[in-house]
Amino acid sequence: MDCQVIHSTEGRLRIRVPWIADNSEYTDKLNWLLESLNFVTSIRINPAARSLIVTYETHLVSETIAEAELLDRIQRFGNADGSTDLILPETKPLDRPQVNEWEQLGLPAIALGLALVAAPLEIPPLIIGAAIARAAVPWFSRATESLVVNRQPNVDLLDSLWMTFHTLNGQFVAPSLKTALVGVRRTLRGMSGEEKERQFQQLLNGSQQLVWVERDGQEQQIAYQEVVAGDRVIVYPGDVIPVDGQILQGTALIDERHLTGDPQPVVATAGEDVCASARLLEGKLCIQAKRTGYNTRVGLAFQLLQAEPVYDTQIGTQQAEFAKSAVVPTIFLGASIFALTGTYGPAITPFQLDFGSGIQIAMPTAFLGALTAAARHGVYIRSGRVLELLAQVDTIVFDRTGTLTQGNAVVAVHTTDPSISPTEVLKLAATAEASLNHPVATAIVYAAETQGIQLLECETWDYFAGMGIACQIDGQEILVGGDRLLQQHHVDFSCLQPEIDASTDSYIYVAKNGQVIGAIFYTDFLRPESADIIATLQQLQIEIYVVTEDNPKVANAVATQLGMTPNCVHAHATSQNKAELVQALCHHGKTVAFVGDGINEAAALSFADVSISFASGSDIEAETADVVLLDNDLAGIVEAIALAKRAMEIVYQNAAIVIVPNLAVVTGGIFFGLNPIVNVVTNNFTAFLAEFFNSTRPLLRTRRTRETREQGAEELQVQRGDYQLPITHYPLPMMKKLAQVET
């Protein structure tokens, strides 16, 4: 018997699925599969009744389409034995511990309630004390574990002693209020984390459905999981963009609020980049996929939210070590006060010094918010420690090729003799360079391919980092590289010196059997933004150095174009030279970031405090750099540094928000007998303020790359090939831009 709809109302379907059994793995996968449809709001599976109930958004889909789509998904998913023709992605488990509401809210609420009504109801103190002791079990457990397992006291011991002494003295409200307020904070933290994960998962799942792609000139619908980098994805009004990619055709109005936080729709047109999770409001787009799934911006942000790589920071480690070392002195301070005053109140007040809970929670919240914000804005920062170092960077070393330059060099071939064909020189060079992933190698191979040159096979092949390649082709010994490579192999290249002296281009030699047969001159133009980015970084008091494998003439020209002094641009820089420069700067106390992504920069990247590179492929997790720029734009470096500095400002603000009031009320308790309830309320209020308000403030202003729609304007129609694009009235420059776009 096939599955069928047995009852339906508006926005709700009940579907009988005969093969649903008490198989939790099967039902979990089926639940995930159906929730991945963008119109589905909830799924409730009843294995005993062999049925499920689906609620859906009626404004997104009609009942007929919803029913057909759901039945198709269920049928394609197959039976409980696991047979299916759908490709299920590898989902990442949510390791966040479940909130124990009874432990965190129920027991503390009972204890607080009993404490408040103890006097009028004459409740026996033993009962109230037992309730408080039960609510405080988490503190006692952590304190005991630290003493038994780690052989040292922790801050939970101070809290345990403080609650115990107050309870034994008959002051029940303060300790019970403490357990209640801390329980509320912990519950809100857990709920907030779960809600963020749910939102990110929903953004991902909103894309994980059937997607239209263009293959072999035909539009076809495939499962989202089958989309790969390079596919041409077709997106229609109402659809969620499923990939990060570049628009090939079309103009549309899209909603990017989940990425940028900006509720204003923006116009996107051919040549611009768009990101997964944005919703298409009007128009039609053909997008070339660059990254899919967990490698999209929203996917990377979700992974960071799950992994929480924020507990490796130096400031966090220092704070934790200070908290551990302060426990015993605090106990001695309390004992000393008791010896002098003979009263327990002022003596145990120092036990409420906030060495841990407020600061330790507020710091990771700020770091995690910064990491996820950076990912949504096109900068993938691996951990809180990297973010912390990025805020301290005072020196940046750029490798010129492929970072400051566009990475699409133009080549020209010079031969040493008219009898030597430029085609032969280019063929040998391209054959030798074909295995390298380097902008110059790519340009040489591309030049050969555009001229229809068939590459040969290398019989032997050796790469000399920073110098070039030595290989054997058709029995001929071939060298392709710079001065040092030819000098090392005792090859004279003076015959090309006049051409080299007259040119400001970079070059590599091509030698065959110990004789230079030609040189390939190449020009890799600077990125349009390079000079401005360098100037901006210098305004931030960051020292800039540029390393290049080119000769001093080219290096000086680069310095002039970038507005730098020649002594900051290092010519003839080998891999070893680059690494030595980074090491020397670090040795002089600099916090150094190195920007590069070639194999010649591997050593320098590893020695730098922070390594930065552009995303070289569709798998971001495979990148080795500490900071990966998802967009092909150096502006990401400035944004990353600004975000890191802002995040650290918030961390220090959080510390001040927690520490200053805490010190004030503790001092008041010691010298003026301030009621401990004031201490409890102040400590929890400031911790709450730091964690849930200050740490969650926006860290980056929305980067506006496209014009936004003006409010309250007239609707117009712009013809776009085979469809009409309704748009709102734009300023005249935008109207001209739209009218010129062809799809």
**Residue 14: its pLDDT value, please?**
84
Q: What share of the chain is helix, strand, coil (3-state, %, to 5)?
A: 50, 20, 30
> Is 282 in contact with 253 (CB distance < 8 Å)?
yes
Work out the average pLDDT over 511-527: 91
**Residue 171: its pLDDT value, please?**
92
Quick one: how far is CA 701 from the chain centroid?
A: 17
Give pLDDT tens digits for 221-254. Answer: 887 778 888 899 999 888 888 899 999 999 999 9
CA distance linking residue 582 with residue 595, whole number of Å = 11
**Residue 406: its pLDDT value, please?**
84
- Burial classification of residue 742, based on how many CB atoms lie within 10 Å of its CB (0-12 exposed, 13-18 middle, 19 or more buried): exposed
Collect all residues with Cβ–Cβ distance below 8 Å to 408 and sequence separation of at least 6: 439, 442, 443, 524
Give pLDDT tens digits for 149-196. Answer: 888 898 899 999 999 999 999 999 999 999 999 999 888 877 776 666
**Residue 88: its pLDDT value, please?**
41
Work out the average pLDDT over 512-538: 92
Superfamily covering domain 410-523: Calcium-transporting ATPase, cytoplasmic domain N (3.40.1110.10)
Residue 664 scores a pLDDT above 90: yes
**Residue 677: its pLDDT value, please?**
94
Residue 699 scores a pLDDT above 60: no
**Residue 175: its pLDDT value, please?**
95
- What architecture is domain 208-295+710-740? Distorted Sandwich (2.70)
Work out the average pLDDT over 284-311: 81
Give pLDDT tens digits for 239-248. Answer: 888 899 999 9
**Residue 518: its pLDDT value, please?**
94
Matching CATH number, 4-77, of 3.30.70.100, 3.30.300.30, 1.10.1130.10, 1.10.10.10: 3.30.70.100
Work out the average pLDDT over 416-430: 92
Work out the average pLDDT over 730-741: 33
Flag the least confident range among 4-13, 631-640, 666-675. Answer: 4-13
Better-predicted residue by pLDDT, 101 or 67:
67
CA distance linking residue 146 with residue 701, whole number of Å = 43
Work out the average pLDDT over 560-588: 90
Tokens 């990110």 belong to residue: 200
* DSSP structure class, residue 486: H
Quick one: how far is CA 284 from the chain centroid?
A: 29
**Residue 723: its pLDDT value, please?**
30
Flag the least confident range among 495-504, 541-550, 607-616. Answer: 495-504
Q: What CA–CA distances, in Å, run from 344 to 125, 164, 434, 604, 676?
A: 19, 12, 79, 60, 12
Better-predicted residue by pLDDT, 129 or 408:
129
Give pLDDT tens digits for 339-375. Answer: 999 888 899 999 988 766 666 777 888 888 888 888 8
Is 376-405+526-631 a domain of CATH 3.40.50.1000?
Answer: yes
Q: Is the dihedral of CA 381, 386, 388, 391 positive or negative?
A: negative
User: Which residues face 726 on adjacent strands?
Assistant: 717
Work out the average pLDDT over 662-691: 90
**Residue 318: its pLDDT value, please?**
82
- Burial classification of residue 704, based on how many CB atoms lie within 10 Å of its CB (0-12 exposed, 13-18 middle, 19 or more buried): exposed
Give pLDDT tens digits for 131-141. Answer: 999 999 999 99
CA distance linking residue 623 with residue 637, whole number of Å = 17
Tokens 């040969």 belong to residue: 456
> Is 674 in contact with 668 (CB distance < 8 Å)?
yes
Q: What CA–CA distances, in Å, run from 471 to 305, 460, 463, 493, 518?
A: 48, 5, 8, 18, 16
Q: What are phi and psi of 87, to 5 degrees?
A: -90, 110
**Residue 174: its pLDDT value, please?**
94
Determine the Cα angle at 162 with ends 156 and 164, to 5°. 100
So where are the chain's domains?
Answer: 4-77, 208-295+710-740, 376-405+526-631, 410-523
Q: What CA–CA distances, in Å, run from 19 to 40, 69, 478, 682?
A: 22, 19, 67, 57
**Residue 734: its pLDDT value, please?**
32
Which structure tokens are listed for 503?
């040119």
Work out the average pLDDT over 420-441: 90
Which structure tokens are listed for 502?
């007259």
Question: What would the 3-class secondary structure string for 254-301 be?
Answer: EECHHHHCCCCCEEEECCCEECCCCEEEEECEEEEEEEEHHHCHHHHH
**Residue 225: its pLDDT value, please?**
76
**Residue 738: its pLDDT value, please?**
32
Work out the average pLDDT over 697-712: 44
Q: Which helix (H) or strand (E) holds 29?
A: helix 24-35
Q: Is the dihedral of CA 691, 693, 694, 699 positive or negative?
A: positive
